[in-house]
Structure 1
Amino acid sequence: MRPEIVATVAGLRARVAEWRGSGARIALVPTMGALHAGHLALVDAAAREADRIVVSIFVNPAQFAPHEDLATYPRDLERDLDLLEGGPASLVFAPAVSEMYPQGCATTVAVGGPSEGLESVARPHFFGGVATVVAKLLIQAGADVACFGEKDFQQLAVVRRLTRDLSIPTEIRAVPTVREADGLAMSSRNAYLDPAARAKAPTIHRAMRAAAASISGGAAVDEALAAARSMIEAEGMTIDYLELRDENTLAPMTRPTAGATGRMLAAVRLSGVRLIDNMSVSV
């Protein structure tokens, strides 16, 4: 059976209020649709946390720059509902842009700290749009818990900071990245890759994994990252960033620090498609 669909904030709140009246715990899984196994892993994680699960499907225009792929971003609500059918999702919240950003909407949310650098260099608009829509969704759903993937690790850090700073009581749960058999991190944008580009894409994960192993083995951080960059660039890819950061603060980590855990983060352009990935590094 497919989950119920609502398209208005009022409808979402009415259903959540009904569930709360029966003592249910509520989880939210925010998505932009074009669902894949990574999204379904978020839904499964939410099912372990709550009695009722809301999956939001909304392609958020506020996080796209004019030159980016808002117009072509994959949208197929029927396919998304088919993938959710028979699973633990209770409700799909699929609002129109006018519902999320009504005429005259003039409020945005900006998060400093973990939003600085990395994604913000190439996409300075991005986290303002993400923070605004996530804040709205958390308030609209009033969920006890929300599940976000580690694949978008900087985004996860921004959301955690957002909820702490604004005293939003929703607990944020991180769900590990789901990968294809060859190591490529699952992403809705993988569908843009032609066969030749798709064959090259797993090099990103292989290069990062090799660098992580080198750093864990005592190699200098800059040397390990340089080797990874060379491996990726040899396949004709362009690197926006490939850096090691402190996993908790996202501060740059130029050398191993006793007791700290690193997080290697990368953004790479391949045949016009921008791919991101990250992994934990024991230092």
Structure 2
Amino acid sequence: MSGEEFPMRVIHTLAELRAALADQPRPVFVPTMGNLHAGHLSLVREARRHGGPVVVSIFVNRLQFLPHEDFDQYPRTLERDCALLEPEGCDIVFAPSERELYPQPQSYKVAPPPALADLLEGHFRPGFFTGVCTVVMKLFQCVQPSVAVFGQKDYQQLQVIQGMVEQFAMPIRVVGAPTVRAEDGLALSSRNGYLGAQEREEAIALSTALRELAHGARDVTQSLAELEAAADQALRSRGWAPDYLTLRRRSDLLPPTDAQRVAGEPLVALGAARLGATRLIDNLEC
């Protein structure tokens, strides 16, 4: 099966998906919630590099939305998404209904370790990573991929999924693909579409704040708390409402010591902040 030789198939049921993949090599999988942009398409191109049929799922997962979040308003753009995917060589779009993927209330859930899942995004969105792990585990069982591709923009999510795959001894290689940015440096995100024109111009301030934070990563004349407070204030002074702007170790997302900062411990600057009604996240390795 190849996107160059066969038309892309759009499949809505698990039975049809399994039948389509029955005689194929194990696929390469890109899970998404749809409303695709160039960042998603870069994941599909990365998937093609690994051989085998490419399966992209499109499913807006209720389990990872808090009650006050935008589940009902999240854009469902399947026809447009398929038009974007076909020229990229996607072989199968798996777009199940909620009833198809969750025919019963999902009472069995995958709870990642609190040491990783309850900080940063998990602190501000309680239960988020349980919802993510549960749907990804279920999609992995549906698709049975050899490789799964995720974007590094969701840095903590990538670590959570990698840990889940490792601890459950799943025969899947999880690949992290670099964040795709607009020309002005804004990380591409489906939620960028919620921004008004002035907000879109302002949105680059988040990546700017993270660059400044990363710039000071090795300068221990400023404490970690001072660096983070300065980044936080820089955004607040522009009308943002930050959840966090922080430097963490890449290995476990815990704060580095001053000695680790000086010694060159691999670090990452991570941020999440609201601009008006829109919550944006980004990160920068340093």
Which band: TM-score by shorter chain? Answer: over 0.9
TM-score (norm 2): 0.93
The residue number in structure 2 matching 1:194 is: 196
**Once the 2 structures are TM-superposed, how far is the Cα of residue 34 of structure 1 from its aligned partner?**
0.3
The residue number in structure 2 matching 1:17 is: 22
The residue number in structure 1 matching 2:241 is: 238
Distance 1:127 1:42, change over 3 A: same
Task: Tell me which amino acid in the other structure corresponds to 1:7.
Answer: H
Distance 1:50 1:219, change over 3 A: farther
8 A contact 2:218–2:264 mirrored in 1: no
Task: Render the CA deviation track for 1:173-223: whole Å, top value 9, x for unaligned.
Answer: 000100111111100000000111111110010111122112245553333
Name the count of aligned residue pairs.
Answer: 277
Q: CA RMSD in A?
A: 1.5
Matched, 1:40 2:41: yes
In structure 1, C-alpha distance between the alignment counterparts of 2:73 and 2:247, rounded to whole Å: 32
Distance 1:36 1:256, change over 3 A: farther
Matched, 1:273 2:278: yes
In structure 1, C-alpha distance between the alignment counterparts of 2:105 and 2:134, rounded to whole Å: 15
Distance 1:234 1:105, change over 3 A: closer
**Once the 2 structures are TM-superposed, how far is the Cα of residue 11 of structure 1 from its aligned partner?**
1.4
| Larger mean Cα displacement after TM superposition, 253-262 or 143-152 | 253-262
Matched, 1:100 2:105: no
2:253 aligned counterpart, secondary structure: coil
The residue number in structure 2 matching 1:144 is: 146
**Once the 2 structures are TM-superposed, how far is the Cα of residue 18 of structure 1 from its aligned partner?**
1.7
8 A contact 2:10–2:93 mirrored in 1: yes
Task: Render the CA deviation track for 1:12-45: whole Å, top value 9, x for unaligned.
Answer: 122222213xxxx520000000000000010000
In structure 2, C-alpha distance between the alignment counterparts of 1:274 and 1:105, rounded to whole Å: 27
**Once the 2 structures are TM-superposed, how far is the Cα of residue 268 of structure 1 from its aligned partner?**
0.3
Matched, 1:253 2:267: no
1:86 aligned counterpart, secondary structure: helix
In structure 1, C-alpha distance between the alignment counterparts of 2:235 and 2:67, rounded to whole Å: 28
**Once the 2 structures are TM-superposed, how far is the Cα of residue 256 of structure 1 from its aligned partner?**
5.0
Structure 1: 4+ residue segments shifted above 4 A: none
Task: Tell me which amino acid in the other structure corresponds to 1:6.
Answer: I
1:19 aligned counterpart, secondary structure: coil
**Once the 2 structures are TM-superposed, how far is the Cα of residue 50 of structure 1 from its aligned partner?**
2.0
Unaligned runs of 5+ in 1: none
Alignment of 1:45-124 (within 5 A): 45-112=46-113, 113-124=115-126
In structure 1, C-alpha distance between the alignment counterparts of 2:283 and 2:258, rounded to whole Å: 18
Task: Tell me which amino acid in the other structure corresponds to 1:124.
Answer: P
1:55 aligned counterpart, secondary structure: strand
TM-score (norm 1): 0.94
The residue number in structure 1 matching 2:209 is: 207
| Larger mean Cα displacement after TM superposition, 195-204 or 218-227 | 218-227
Identity percentage of aligned residues: 44
In structure 2, C-alpha distance between the alignment counterparts of 1:52 and 1:217, rounded to whole Å: 47
